[in-house]
């Protein structure tokens, strides 16, 4: 079965400073458990804020290294999930369920892409 990467994008400027609520973490934990038992979820994790990150860029034959935060970034990857699903439609359905566990004040976008095997 194909694998899919769901990149969880958030706006660090509008995300709650205190992070996810306990209720959100509980709902997310329940969904993660369900997905794991169903054999769909292969891996998932949140990422530290961009202020703690570093960008390495290759451009015109030159490397540059920039420490975060990255002021030009509005929406950043805040986490990811790797799922194994029969097709893109199933991967998107699981992603919709993930988004729905968030409270209304969150703005979260997931980009789902198939992982190229081989």
DSSP letters along 36-83, please?
Answer: HHTT-EEEEEE---GGG-EEEEEETTEEEEEESP-TT-SEEEEEEEEE
14 pLDDT more than 90? no
* Paired strand residues for 58: 63
Number of CB atoms found within 10 A of residue 58's CB: 8
Backbone φ/ψ region at 94: left (φ over 0), alpha (ψ -120 to 50), beta: alpha
Which range (51-60, 65-74, 88-97, 99-108) has the least confidence? 65-74
**pLDDT tens, residue by residue, 43-81:** 999 999 888 999 999 999 999 999 988 777 678 899 999
């Amino acid at each position: 079965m194909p694998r899919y990467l769901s990149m969880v994008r958030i706006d660090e400027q509008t995300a709650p400073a205190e992070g996810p609520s306990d209720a959100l973490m509980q709902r997310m934990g329940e969904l993660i458990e369900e997905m794991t038992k169903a054999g769909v979820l292969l891996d998932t994790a949140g990422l530290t804020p961009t202020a703690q990150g570093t960008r390495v860029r290759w451009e015109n034959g030159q490397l540059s290294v920039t420490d975060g935060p990255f002021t030009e970034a509005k929406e950043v990857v805040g986490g990811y999930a790797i799922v194994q699903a029969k097709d893109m439609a199933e991967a998107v359905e699981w992603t919709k369920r993930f988004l729905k566990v968030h409270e209304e004040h969150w703005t979260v976008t997931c980009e789902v892409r198939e992982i190229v095997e081989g």
